[in-house]
Amino acid sequence: MVLNKALGLGLLRGAILGDDMVHMTHLQFTDDTMLFLNPNLDCLLATKRILRCFEVASGLKINFHKSCLVKVGKKGGPEDRWAAVFHCKEAKLPITYLGLPLGANPISKTFWNPVILKIENRLAPWKRRFLSKEGRLVLIKEVLSSIPTYYMSVFKIPV
């Protein structure tokens, strides 16, 4: 992979996360990619060059207008212009990635409000339909249980 080669050449440096000092450079899922970069302009410019090479080699186009740059722990300074390097917008934590909130506090009860809201929104149309109790039970077990399960696969639910 090109990112690993760039890491080996010292062009990029990923971020070190958590108490376990995990070295992370990227997460990928289908057509979504999240990059964790060392906060310096040289690293960002190297990343932009790598992404442009990817576009040329693959024939695919990266939509920088749908992308965002999120600074973690940085305020002010020259970093304020980094989003302009990629021609993308700047966002602040918490953000949503693959339907999950990142940077929010999962211990807080308000963190889980979107889960409850999603379940309520799924239930509303079913209330108007003439379903037997058994039919409703099947829908709840098969459809609604997946929403909190998805969140709980990443976050520990508070008591």
Tens-place pLDDT, residues 85-117: 888 888 888 888 888 888 889 998 889 998 889
Q: Domain ends where: 92, 115, 133?
A: 92
Q: Is the pLDDT of residue 56 over 90?
A: yes
Q: Which structural domain range is residue 72 located in? A: 2-92
Model confidence band, residue 79 (pLDDT cutoffs 50, 70, 90): low
**Does residue 125 have a cis bond before it (omega within 30 degrees)?**
no
Domain end marker among 44, 74, 92: 92
Rounded Cα gap, residues 27 and 36, in angstroms? 8
pTM (2 d.p.): 0.69
Domain count across the chain: 2
Stretch 72-92: mean pLDDT: 79
- Same domain for 75 and 132? no
Q: Are residues 30 and 59 in the same domain?
A: yes
What pLDDT, on a 0 to 100 scale, did the predictor assign at position 97? 86
pLDDT at 134: 84
